[in-house]
Amino acid sequence: MRLVSLVPVGTKVNFLRFRQIGMGLSLVLCLASAVLFMTKGLNYGIDFQGGILIEVRTSGPANIGQIRGQISKLELGNIEIQEFGKPTDVLIRVERQPGGAKEQNKAVEKVKSTLGSDVDYRRIEFVGPKVSGELVEAGITAVLLALAAMLLYIWFRFEWQFGVGAVVALVHDVLLTIGVFSILGLEFNLSTVAAILTIAGYSINDTVVVYDRVRENLRKYKVMELIELLNLSLNDTLSRTLLTSITTLLALFILYFFGGEVLKGFSFALIWGVLIGTYSSLMVATPLLIQMRLRRSAFSNEDGKVSTS
């Protein structure tokens, strides 16, 4: 029985022919993402910004302008009101009120009394400045620790060049994810941090598969040119890479379109991460091995048969 394959056996795509273009493009995009983050910043959710979040559902299509006019009269400071997925769902954000929990509860009661009992209050959340600051610190720490742990793992399993290449690819993926969230103005919250960590795990898994094949081929083909050997390794793993990415994307697109508004940011981040993670494995992590002068001697196997093809 013959299995269906997306990629014909024995493909010889010259990926590394475009390595300079790919790495140059990645560098430009990473710099652009960093500039966007420092200038425009991110649309932080209530997890990081602090404040009050109220999600309501109206009996019919919500009149956003009318609701904004009613709540603005309460003088609660900065208020954001937006449609949330459906015309009947409205998300209300109110800046943190001076004082403790008592003042925040008063603000919620003011909003409730203004909107009346005709709306369904589906969610009410409050995050204080101390908690939001701790969440920012914890989110940054989680990402940095994940990157450091992956560097050590790849370094221990392979050679230092592989470790550095994998971490550079991960930083590339994280930076571009932050950049796309900044330019699109998507909400950046704790679920986005979870998505970034998931992206890091997915990307490193894809990179390890390629690196493992590179290591095998270094032992098998001892006199083959490094560029030719890396292209061979990428083609050997191409079918697995595409199948994994496509099946993952199918699930994520269903989650994005049918999972509700709350999960849209999370699923979008993962969709972007799968695409950019696949790209970085091919055009960032592998070409970096050439730039860092990978040592073939570390993988030599004196007992093996010398082969050139």
pLDDT digits (tens, 9 = 90+) for 103-127: 888 888 888 888 887 888 888 888 7
Region 7-15: what's the mean pLDDT?
A: 74
pLDDT range class, residue 29, cuts 50, 70, 90: very high
Residues 6+ apart with CB under 8 A from 43: 181, 182, 185, 186, 187, 188
pTM: predicted TM-score of the whole model, two decimal places: 0.76
pLDDT at 61: 86
With a CB cutoff of 8 Å and minimum separation 6, the contacts of 174 are 143, 147, 196, 199, 200
pLDDT bin (cut points 50, 70, 90) of residue 130 is low
Per-residue CA distances from 210 to 53, 116, 281, 282, 298 (Å)? 44, 59, 8, 8, 18
Give counts: helices (H), strands (E), the chain.
Answer: 10, 6
Give pLDDT, residue 128: 67
Exposed/middle/buried for residue 56 (C-beta within 10 Å: 0-12, 13-18, 19+): buried
Q: What is the CATH number of domain 15-43+132-299?
A: 1.20.1640.10
The separation between CA 173 and the C-alpha centre of its own chain, rounded to angstroms, equals 7
CA 205 to chain centre: 14
Instruction: Check for a shared fold between 15-43+132-299 and 51-127.
Output: no
User: By C-alpha distance, which of 39, 24, 56, 297 is closest to 182?
Assistant: 39
pLDDT surpassing 90 at residue 147: no
Type and span of the H or E element at 120: strand 120-127
Q: How far apart are CA 33 and CA 126, in angstroms?
A: 30
The structure tokens 């920012």 sit at 136
For the domain covering 51-127, report its CATH number.
3.30.70.3400
pLDDT of residue 303: 44
- What contacts 98, CB < 8 A, 6 or more positions away? none
Domain range annotation of the chain: 15-43+132-299, 51-127
260 conformational bin, left if phi > 0, alpha if psi -120 to 50, beta if neither:
left
Least confident of 157-171, 177-191, 224-238: 157-171
Span 226-237, average pLDDT: 89
Phi, psi of 45 (to 5 degrees): -80, 180
Who wins on pLDDT, 122 or 9? 122
Residue-level pLDDT at 8: 64
- Tell me the C-alpha distance between 227 and 281, whole Å: 15
φ, ψ of residue 157 in degrees (nearest 5): -80, -35
Query: Is pLDDT larger for residue 1 or for residue 94?
Result: 94
Give the span between the Cα atoms of 126 and 47, in whole angstroms: 9
pLDDT given at position 298:
57
Residue type for 177, please? T
130: number of Cβ within 10 Å: 9
